[in-house]
């Protein structure tokens, strides 16, 4: 390759990258333009979001921008008449935030802008508790309801409701206590001085006496706990205010990647301190209990947990043949203990996860000793995950009554609700079946669950009631699509964000009972958006090579307009759902697919192996091999298009961003016979350069599982490139770093590949913000498919 060609690929200084004109439409000519649909909310409309109820359950507050103002504002809907009004600055300032309620529901405490507030639920009046330059946060009520305990400057304080008096409960400090001992020589000199001079001895006794008397006369203060270089990473107190549970983090001494930001207001390049790479040294955690009655501290002991010494199975692949392999470690695995969840009578349970993400324990905590009684152990040789179980969500844990807790587990392969008696340890499944309980919480009286599931179909979300002891579920929502439900404080009404495949999210209100009707409150879409007849893509399933039925959304051209070419879209994140009957988070891509179909292309968007919504086995099918079954699903999807829809096998393209960009690269490198061209957006090119939290769960770490990284990273397969590849990436990406695609570019140059182009976006991060960048990006993608897929 000539120096001129290499310069073109890397620096991207030609007109293709910075000034490509709007492309001419195909003969089919969509009424849409790329510039239109890439305006995002300015074209679609600003949909209602961040839905909350007023304390009196009479109003719904939400974020909205129907007038296309500079930014969104907070609006209020009166559910009695549906009237919507924009809140003034004063009204926003006075608007209570979410908070916690006293056990008798008489009071609500919350923090806002670093201050504390108390709301009287009898008349909804609000009393401001603090007004300081410090940051007070996380209020909670004591078990007897007489105090509000809150955090400030990494310590706990109590505020007595009746008197307004404040008491500091803990005194955590960084650094070490200043109690340096004298050297042997200095101690000898001091003792010699005191023995020779009576006046020095007299002064010493006076000083010690003053100090002692001052200590005796001073108010009671909490015992100081010095943390050294450790940091406080969790703080909680028992309802009786006798025990404090705290978690300390020892920060990792690891190296972060620096991301340069070139286009800045100052004119100087900013260095953004991004993140470390997978496999580096990690933060470690330890949890302790402080007994406020005795000022004693002791560590929570986790070494008795089941399986805490067990090695993961993948390490067998690296065991030496001439040595005896041990299935256990010499010391327990590192774990992270969550903050305890307390029952009304003071019992404590907590969620514990292993640092290798393969174990989750739920245990009862003895506050007097720090010992644990295990109630449940979840183990997964891949990684613990699932809605309200782990990974992309915290493990939910809640008391039903003073003897029972509920939690979720993927024990059966799907996320379901379980109930455990903390005295006997007996556990019962409250839900079961080949569906997922996506979200669940208890009603205020703890007599029933409110839950959202996908039991009707993996492609629909509906809201249900279920008795707290299990039993028949009562379906509340009925329309086909997606429902995001917020229950009113009095639990009589529901605020519902509802959408369908081709109908964006709008706000509705309905009674919280079976047979209730949804009443629409908002109309958010623009006239320009409404003028187009948006497709309701068909949800189909095709059979993969291993027999799995793979779901996908199919966009087809109108009769007589099919051009014989097809495009496959690969969604991002891996663990995300894109085949469904509600308005997509990938709404720009959805509109682009309508545009492609208008211009004769058939589009297939696949929920490949790794996607969310289909249970544990679908999620973990990529364990130790990303670009395995997830790539096979794209190739098998292409075969489905050829066999069932008459697509020309030589005219199929593929594109996607983030994880979708990664799969696009793997497709172009490992399945060149299937894909004529591909556009890889913000792509991971080498998993050894991505973050630890995501990557180590799926591929372990590079040093311990090099096999997994070698077969999962596109950079190792770049030699297989045959079709036309377009790489697009934001230079200020602090998630998938720009370095990723620069390294791949160098690899392609060294391999003397010439059928690729590289477009950079100087002001964009991982998720593009500017409509000009979106438009430029998708004009290039469409140009790629026009030039490579049309005869």
State the residue for tokens 């020589």. Answer: 185
Please tell me the distance from the alpha carbon of residue 138 to that of residue 579, in angstroms, as a whole number: 38
Tens of pLDDT, residues 118-142: 999 999 999 999 999 999 999 999 9
What number is the average pLDDT over the span 526-542? 97
Residue 11 pLDDT exceeds 70? no
Which one, of 304, 553, 582, lies nearest residue 438 by Cα? 582
Q: If 0-12 CB within 10 Å is exposed, 13-18 middle and 19+ buried, where does residue 176 land? A: exposed
What number is the average pLDDT over the span 720-747? 97
Q: For the residues of 763-788, what is the DSSP string, one character each?
A: T--SS---HHHHHHHHHHHHHHHHHH
Going by pLDDT thresholds of 50, 70 and 90, the confidence category of residue 112 is very high
Please tell me the distance from the alpha carbon of residue 286 to that of residue 299, in angstroms, as a whole number: 7
- At 628 the pLDDT is 98
Please provide the average confidence, as pLDDT, over all residues in the chain.
94
Going by pLDDT thresholds of 50, 70 and 90, the confidence category of residue 194 is confident
Going by pLDDT thresholds of 50, 70 and 90, the confidence category of residue 392 is confident
Residue 357 region, left (φ>0) first, then alpha (ψ -120 to 50), else beta?
left
Q: pLDDT over 90 for what percent of the chain?
A: 88
Which one, of 774, 629, 624, lies nearest residue 711 by Cα? 624
Tens of pLDDT, residues 664-680: 999 999 999 999 999 99
Tens of pLDDT, residues 349-371: 999 999 999 999 999 999 999 99
Residue 575 pLDDT exceeds 80? yes
CB 594 within 8 A of CB 534: yes
What number is the average pLDDT over the span 301-310? 96
Residue 569 pLDDT exceeds 80? yes
Tens of pLDDT, residues 410-451: 999 999 999 999 999 999 999 999 999 999 999 999 999 999
Residue 201 pLDDT exceeds 60? yes
Going by pLDDT thresholds of 50, 70 and 90, the confidence category of residue 181 is confident
Residue 389 pLDDT exceeds 50? yes
- At 28 the pLDDT is 58
- At 8 the pLDDT is 41
What number is the average pLDDT over the span 182-189? 89
In this structure, how many other beta carbons lie within 10 angstroms of the beta carbon of residue 130? 18
Coil, helix or strand for 110?
strand
Measured in degrees and rounded to the nearest 5, phi and psi for residue 518 equal -85, 130
Tens of pLDDT, residues 21-60: 334 444 556 789 999 999 999 999 999 999 999 999 999 9
- At 661 the pLDDT is 98
Which one, of 148, 114, 151, lies nearest residue 133 by Cα? 114
Tens of pLDDT, residues 330-349: 999 999 999 999 999 999 99
Residue 312 pLDDT exceeds 70? yes
| Token duo for residue 299 | 């560590």
- At 176 the pLDDT is 87
Tens of pLDDT, residues 48-92: 999 999 999 999 999 999 999 999 999 999 999 999 999 999 999
CB 94 within 8 A of CB 125: no
Per DSSP, helices labelled H in 89-236 are 89-94, 184-196, 198-217
HSE value, Cβ hemisphere, 13 Å, CA-based, for 114:
6
Residue 20 pLDDT exceeds 80? no
State the residue for tokens 């600003």. Answer: 46
Residue 580 pLDDT exceeds 60? yes
What number is the average pLDDT over the span 96-119? 94
Residue 2 pLDDT exceeds 80? no
CB 102 within 8 A of CB 88: no
Residue 15 pLDDT exceeds 50? no
Please tell me the distance from the alpha carbon of residue 229 to that of residue 234, in angstroms, as a whole number: 16
Residue 10 pLDDT exceeds 50? no
- How would you list the strands of the sheet with 147-152, edge to edge? 136-141, 147-152, 155-160, 166-168
In this structure, how many other beta carbons lie within 10 angstroms of the beta carbon of residue 267? 6
Please tell me the distance from the alpha carbon of residue 524 to that of residue 583, in angstroms, as a whole number: 13
Tens of pLDDT, residues 254-302: 899 999 999 999 999 999 999 999 999 999 999 999 999 999 999 999 9
Residue 609 pLDDT exceeds 60? yes
Which one, of 732, 752, 743, 633, lies nearest residue 685 by Cα? 743
Going by pLDDT thresholds of 50, 70 and 90, the confidence category of residue 9 is very low
Tens of pLDDT, residues 689-706: 999 999 999 999 999 999
Please tell me the distance from the alpha carbon of residue 385 to that of residue 392, in angstroms, as a whole number: 7
- At 254 the pLDDT is 86
Do strands 147-152 and 136-141 pair parallel, antiparallel, or not at all (unpaired)?
antiparallel
- At 348 the pLDDT is 98
Please tell me the distance from the alpha carbon of residue 343 to that of residue 400, in angstroms, as a whole number: 9
Cross-strand bridge partners of residue 497: 484, 507
Tens of pLDDT, residues 496-518: 999 999 999 999 999 999 999 99
Residue 595 pLDDT exceeds 50? yes
């Amino acid at each position: 390759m000539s120096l001129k060609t290499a310069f073109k690929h890397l620096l991207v200084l030609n007109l293709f990258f910075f000034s490509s004109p709007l492309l001419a439409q195909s003969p089919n000519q969509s009424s849409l333009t790329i510039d239109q649909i890439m305006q995002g909310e300015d074209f679609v409309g600003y949909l209602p979001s961040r839905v909350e109820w007023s304390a009196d359950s009479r109003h719904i507050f939400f974020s909205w921008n129907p007038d296309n103002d500079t930014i969104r504002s907070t609006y209020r809907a009166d559910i009695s008449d549906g009237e919507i009004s924009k809140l003034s600055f004063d009204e926003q300032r006075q608007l209570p935030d979410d908070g916690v309620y006293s056990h008798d529901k008489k009071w609500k405490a919350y923090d806002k802008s670093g201050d504390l507030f108390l709301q009287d639920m009898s008349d909804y009046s609000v009393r401001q508790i603090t007004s300081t330059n410090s940051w007070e946060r996380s209020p909670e009520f004591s078990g007897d309801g007489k105090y509000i305990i809150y955090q400030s400057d990494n310590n706990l304080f109590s505020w007595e409701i009746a008197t307004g008096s404040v008491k500091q409960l803990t005194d955590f400090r960084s650094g070490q206590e200043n109690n340096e001992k004298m050297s042997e020589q200095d101690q000898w000199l001091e003792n010699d001085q005191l023995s020779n001079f009576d006046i020095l001895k007299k002064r010493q006794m006076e000083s010690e006496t003053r100090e002692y008397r001052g200590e005796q006369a001073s108010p009671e203060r909490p015992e100081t706990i010095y943390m050294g270089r450790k940091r406080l990473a969790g703080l909680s107190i028992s309802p009786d205010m006798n025990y404090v549970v705290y978690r300390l983090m020892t920060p990792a001494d690891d190296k972060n990647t620096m991301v340069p930001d070139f286009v800045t207001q100052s004119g100087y390049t900013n260095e953004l301190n991004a993140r470390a790479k997978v496999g580096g040294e990690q933060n470690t955690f330890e949890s302790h209990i402080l007994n406020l009655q005795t000022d004693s501290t002791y560590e929570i002991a986790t070494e008795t947990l089941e399986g805490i010494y067990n090695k993961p199975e993948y390490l067998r692949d690296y065991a030496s043949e001439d040595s005896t392999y041990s299935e256990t470690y010499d010391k327990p695995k590192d774990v992270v203990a969550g903050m305890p969840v307390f029952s009304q009578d003071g019992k404590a349970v907590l969620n514990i996860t292993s640092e290798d993400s393969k174990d989750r324990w739920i245990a009862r905590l003895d506050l007097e000793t720090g010992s644990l009684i295990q109630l449940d152990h979840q183990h997964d040789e891949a990684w613990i995950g699932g809605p309200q179980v782990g990974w992309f969500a915290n493990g939910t844990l809640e008391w039903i009554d003073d003897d029972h807790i509920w939690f979720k587990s993927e024990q059966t392969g799907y996320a379901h609700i379980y109930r455990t008696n903390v005295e006997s340890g007996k556990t019962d499944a409250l839900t079961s079946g080949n569906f997922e309980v996506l979200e669940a919480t208890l009603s205020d009286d703890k007599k029933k669950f409110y839950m959202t599931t996908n039991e009707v179909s993996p492609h629909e979300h509906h809201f249900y009631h279920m008795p707290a002891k299990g039993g028949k579920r009562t379906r509340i929502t009925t329309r086909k699509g997606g429902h995001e439900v917020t229950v009113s404080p009095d639990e009589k009404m529901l605020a519902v964000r509802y959408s369908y495949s081709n109908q964006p999210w709008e706000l509705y209100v309905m009674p919280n009972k079976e047979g209730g009707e949804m009443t629409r409150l908002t109309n958010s879409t623009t006239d320009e958006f409404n003028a187009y007849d948006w497709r309701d893509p068909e949800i189909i399933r095709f059979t993969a090579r291993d027999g799995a039925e793979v779901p996908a959304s199919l966009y087809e051209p109108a009769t007589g307009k099919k051009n014989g070419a097809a495009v496959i879209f690969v969604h991002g994140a891996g663990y995300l759902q894109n085949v469904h009957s509600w308005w997509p988070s990938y709404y720009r891509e959805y509109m682009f697919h309508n545009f492609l179909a208008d211009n004769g292309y058939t589009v297939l968007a696949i929920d490949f192996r790794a996607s969310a919504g289909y249970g544990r086995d679908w999620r973990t099918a990529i364990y130790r091999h990303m670009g395995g079954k997830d790539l096979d699903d794209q190739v098998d999807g292409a075969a489905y298009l050829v066999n069932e829809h008459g697509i020309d096998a030589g005219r199929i393209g593929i594109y996607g961003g983030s994880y979708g960009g990664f799969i696009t690269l793997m497709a172009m490198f490992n399945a060149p016979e299937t894909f004529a061209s591909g556009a890889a957006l913000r792509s991971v090119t080498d998993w050894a350069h991505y973050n630890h939290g995501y990557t180590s769960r799926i591929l372990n770490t590079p040093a311990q599982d090099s096999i997994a990284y070698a077969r999962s990273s596109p950079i190792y397969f770049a030699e297989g490139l045959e079709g036309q590849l377009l790489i697009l990436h934001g230079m200020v990406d602090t998630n998938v770093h720009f370095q990723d695609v620069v390294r791949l570019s160098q690899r392609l140059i060294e391999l003397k590949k010439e059928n690729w182009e590289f477009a950079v976006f100087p002001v964009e991060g991982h998720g593009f913000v500017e409509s000009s960048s979106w438009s430029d990006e998708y004009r290039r993608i469409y140009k790629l498919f026009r030039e490579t897929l049309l005869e």
